[in-house]
């Protein structure tokens, strides 16, 4: 029986490019910063951004990329394959990474939060 973590790679060269870009960014002191990676081929512009919203704003087409917070130890090809596969499936199902600057509706926790949510959704 195979280990569930020992999955066949889905993304091939794209995952290798993504892992390389993330690991290079980590080695150059980019841990804790954001990197934009193209979903199609795993390529990157190799620009590190302080915020996810900055990374999204600087892409020609933000819906064709995923945005990663650089870990201190880089990324393996297997990890990149799973991350890239996840975001490809998410996007093909209609999901998108949201821009954190957007005031995205969430579950209100207090009465003032609930009133604020109603104002946001109704425009009143």
Domain boundaries, the chain: 13-122
How far is it, in rounded angstroms, from Cα 72 to Cα 22? Answer: 10
Burial class (CB in 10 A: 0-12, 13-18, 19+), 55: buried
**Average pLDDT by stretches of 10, the chain with 124 residues:** 53 91 95 93 93 88 85 92 88 76 57 76 74
Give the pLDDT confidence score for residue 2 in this predicted structure. Answer: 45
Using a cut of 0.85, tell me whether the model's pTM lies above it: no
């Amino acid at each position: 029986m195979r280990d569930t973590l020992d999955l066949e790679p889905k993304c091939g060269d794209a995952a290798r490019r993504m892992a390389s870009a993330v690991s290079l960014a980590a080695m150059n002191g980019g841990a804790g910063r954001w990197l934009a990676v193209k979903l199609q081929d795993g390529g990157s512009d190799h620009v590190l951004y302080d915020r996810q919203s900055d990374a999204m704003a600087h892409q020609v087409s933000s819906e064709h990329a995923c945005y990663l917070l650089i870990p201190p130890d880089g990324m393996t090809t297997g990890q990149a394959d799973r991350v890239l596969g996840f975001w490809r499936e998410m996007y093909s199902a209609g999901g998108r990474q949201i821009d954190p600057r957007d005031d995205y509706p969430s579950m209100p926790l207090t009465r003032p939060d609930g009133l604020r949510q109603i104002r946001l959704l109704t425009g009143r």
